[in-house]
Amino acid sequence: MGSEDVLKSASTLASYNVLLQVMFRVLTFLLNAFTLRFVSKELIGVVNVRLMLLYSTLVFLSREAFRRACLSGEGAGRNWRQVINLLWLTFPVGCVWGVVLVCVWWWLLQAPDPESIPHYVPAVGLFCLAALTELLAEPLWVLAHAHMFVRLKVIAESLAMIAKCLVTVVMVVSAPQWGLYIFSAAQCVYAGFLLLCYVLYFVSFLGSEEAEKKLFPVSHMKDLLPSRVDHEPLLNWKLTTLTWSFFKQSFLKQILTEGERYVMTFLNVLNFGDQGVYDIINNLGSMVARFLFLPIEESFYVFFAKVLERGRDVQHQKQEEVSMAAEVLECLLKLVLLIGLIITVFGYAYSYLALDIYGGELLSSGAGPALLRCYSCYVLLLAINGVTECFVFAAMSKEEVDRYNLVMLGLSASFLLLSYWLTWMLGGIGFILANCCNMALRITHSIVYIHRYFLQSEYTPLWGLRPHSAVIIALGVSSILTTCSESLFCCDGGWLLRLVHVAVGAVCLLGVVITVFLTETRLVQFVRTQLLPKYTKKRT
């Protein structure tokens, strides 16, 4: 597959992933708004913070290192028999982590009051079971991702999420007294549907004419099981050591990614009710970051990993591919920077209104609006870090990955200390400020690496972090106008004045978008030709 084909496939994957994440966020958004009216905020805190932390920790630590290693250049060439054997290690690794984490969640952490939140112990076991079920699909997921089966992921995760939402809604309405059993059953249904969709697809795909046409490396379902080929080692040792390097890094990255939940869970700085409110606002504030930035990061990591040769400087690589990688990186940086700036500017003036509409006084009173405003600033850092680390992780050699693990170790320790200290002083806002500090340090490290990587070449992709001056002016004017509009029209004067406030924001946003279209023509062309392939295909 040539570089142009890889770019096209990665761009299509990013587009589908964005649509998938939009649906996930919207469904979760509506589900939270619905369940808020039937269950307590304490129950939401236990589920969304305590139990989902168990689930995400088990899944991430068990599979993330295998994914990154097997989708990198070393995983692509590629004795797929050895790659599949390596991927099946995710399940026994998950079982080991499951035993450890369940024991911690049962016996070391403070359990919620059984009178107000019953069934905690079986719920922990069921969430662990759901995570192990999802790990069974990992070899199929990597095969599909490596061969750019973009529609499969969209369909599988969409059906699984819809099934989860339906189970949750039906059980919350019909049997709210079941409490944690409701969300445990829904999570098990999600994992089961996900595994079933992947299995059914490969049962129908393997051995078909389409598979033969694509020269797919696996021809029968039994080939997806671990096995040994004569005169070949069971595992690729180079790929295995790279997985170990990524595993050490993933452990630290998980602490940084879910750091505030670990602090809340293990240090008890917030009660379950406050945890529930914080998590709802956190999900609301991160909607755009998760459904837009994360899919772009995941998809273009595949592109950079396939186009660039890991650990080699730019002078000893194909210049055509280096040029393409630099151009894509510059456009991606410009894209996520502008989106982040727009969210920061408009998020400040519309946080209170959004929370008041979504959850009423439960969210709009107290520290809720301040939390969402701070999160709007944090989204800007999330946007930049996602793209810069996506490139860095694809270009680093194994030795550089190991050295970066030490950097991540220092960041993890400082983050946990800073989170505890700032939360003790400022409450939930302290979590966001600590995340901002750590994200800024990670961005700085990645920018320094990218600068050195392209230093001996003619390419300067970091120019993508410098938007046009006209865009900066448009954003500044919008910030002033929307802030004045909030003080004049929002939010105690009734719905008519609220609509006036929304109209002011809509006009300002339109002005910013028009300014971007007129000044950032190269970026607009990149978005139309690469991130919106279906749209351009229809236009032509």
Task: pLDDT tens for the chain, 540 residues: list them.
Answer: 555 666 666 666 666 666 666 666 677 677 777 777 788 778 888 998 999 999 999 999 999 888 888 887 544 456 788 888 889 999 999 999 999 999 999 999 988 888 888 899 999 999 999 999 999 999 999 888 887 777 788 788 888 988 998 899 899 888 888 889 999 999 999 999 999 999 998 888 887 887 777 778 888 888 888 887 767 778 888 888 888 888 877 777 787 778 778 888 888 788 887 788 788 888 777 776 666 787 778 778 878 888 888 777 777 778 888 888 888 888 999 999 999 999 999 999 998 898 888 777 777 777 778 888 998 899 999 889 989 988 888 888 878 887 887 887 788 788 888 888 888 888 788 888 988 998 999 999 999 989 888 888 888 888 888 889 999 999 999 999 999 999 888 877 788 888 999 999 999 999 999 999 999 888 888 888 876 553 334 333
485 part of a folded domain = no
505 part of a folded domain = no
Q: Collapsing DSSP states into helix, strand and coil, what is residue 157?
A: helix
Whether residues 257 and 273 fall in one domain: no
CA atoms within 13 A on the CB side of 397: 6
226 part of a folded domain = yes
Whether residues 221 and 308 fall in one domain: no
pTM for the full predicted model: 0.70
Whether residues 189 and 329 fall in one domain: no
Q: How far apart are CA 199 and CA 193, in angstroms?
A: 10
Q: Are 153 and 212 in contact (CB under 8 A)?
A: no
475 part of a folded domain = no
- Residue 412 tokens read as 């993890």
Supply the pLDDT for residue 271. 81
Which residues are within 8 A (CB) of 506 and not within 5 positions of it... i.e. 6 or more apart?
A: none
How many domains does the chain divide into? 2
- Residue 352 tokens read as 């209170």
DSSP state, residue 110:
P
User: What is the CA angle 108-114-115, rounded to 5?
Assistant: 155
Whether residues 218 and 275 fall in one domain: no
Q: How far apart are CA 123 and CA 159, in angstroms?
A: 23
201 part of a folded domain = yes
**CB burial string 398-435: b at 16+ within 10 A, e below:** bebbeebbeebeebbeebbebbbebbeebbbbbbbbbb
Whether residues 90 and 183 fall in one domain: yes
Q: Are 194 and 157 in contact (CB under 8 A)?
A: yes
What residues make up the domain containing 402? 269-462
- Residue 535 tokens read as 């749209």
Whether residues 190 and 97 fall in one domain: yes
The residue out of 445, 462, 479 marking a domain boundary is 462
Supply the pLDDT for residue 429. 87
540 part of a folded domain = no
Whether residues 254 and 204 fall in one domain: yes
The residue out of 462, 486, 503 marking a domain boundary is 462
43 part of a folded domain = yes
The residue out of 421, 440, 462 marking a domain boundary is 462
Whether residues 396 and 257 fall in one domain: no
Whether residues 277 and 209 fall in one domain: no
Which residues are within 8 A (CB) of 135 and not within 5 positions of it... i.e. 6 or more apart?
A: 59, 62, 63, 90, 91, 94
Contacts 24+ apart (CB under 8 A), 112-118: 112/42, 112/46, 112/50, 112/272, 116/40, 116/42, 117/42, 117/43, 117/46, 117/179, 117/180, 117/272, 118/179, 118/180
Whether residues 227 and 288 fall in one domain: no
330 part of a folded domain = yes
Whether residues 70 and 204 fall in one domain: yes
The length of the chain is: 540
Q: Are 420 and 267 in contact (CB under 8 A)?
A: yes
Whether residues 214 and 307 fall in one domain: no
